A and B are shown apart, each in its own frame.
Chain A
Amino acid sequence: GENVEQHPSTLSVQEGDSAVIKCTYSDSASNYFPWYKQELGKRPQLIIDIRSNVGEKKDQRIAVTLNKTAKHFSLHITETQPEDSAVYFCAASGAGSYQLTFGKGTKLSVIP
């Protein structure tokens, strides 16, 4: 089955700086890669996703890049704000699969 590795497990940045979270996946047939944000005590919520036929996708201050050859994808958050503090999860789904496999999460702390 699919295996998703996520790094780093914790990340602290100064407010206004950029944050980058990286994930690798094992199944070369995977073709859907979402990112979820989970604030403390809350439920996970989708923030951005990308398909394997796209190399990069942006939505305001967040962007995701995908390198199919290397089997890794990354979340980029620019101009970080205190409200960006949360746990972020990457996930991957293989072609024809009904499942998402999640990484173990990155706890991002934005220091004012």
Chain B
Amino acid sequence: NAGVTQTPKFQVLKTGQSMTLQCAQDMNHNSMYWYRQDPGMGLRLIYYSASEGTTDKGEVPNGYNVSRLNKREFSLRLESAAPSQTSVYFCASSEVSGSLGGEQFFGPGTRLTVL
């Protein structure tokens, strides 16, 4: 099992460009998440999908959109990248979500730089 995979691993964008970060999991998990990690800020939730067919905003959703393409895949899109979106992005998945106590399994991360 590959677990949670993310593409690309690294990306450099210019301000105003768009891109989509891809995430896939092969653990048959119901819930998927997108986080951003900035120095000294911990992991902040951007969007999540509690189950296939649903998506909801997290703590920092502005400037992002998501698509739960099917049970396996959850993509994150930046429509018009800004320097403030320079960060490391992690995708995660879990069998159950939130207070139900499902362990979140993280992907390897995407390091994004916006110039």
Contact = CB atoms under 8 A, between A and B. Distances in A.
Contact of B103 (A46, A101, A102): A46
Question: How big is the B interface, by class?
Answer: 20 to 34
A99 B58 contact: yes
A1 B60 CA distance: 13
B103 A34 contact: yes
B99 A93 contact: yes
B99 A97 contact: yes
A45 B106 CA distance: 7
A104 B45 contact: no
Question: How big is the A interface, by class?
Answer: 20 to 34
Contacts, number: 64
Nearest to B109: A43
Interface string B79-111: 000000000001000000111110110111100
9 contacts: A34-B103, A43-B109, A49-B103, A94-B98, A94-B99, A99-B48, A100-B45, A102-B42, A105-B40
Interface of B: 31, 40-45, 48, 50, 56, 58-59, 90, 97-101, 103-104, 106-109
Given A99-B98, A105-B40, 13 more contacts: A6-B42, A30-B99, A43-B108, A44-B90, A96-B99, A97-B99, A98-B31, A98-B50, A99-B97, A100-B104, A101-B45, A102-B43, A104-B41
Interface of A: 1, 6, 9, 30-32, 34, 43-46, 49, 51, 89, 93-105
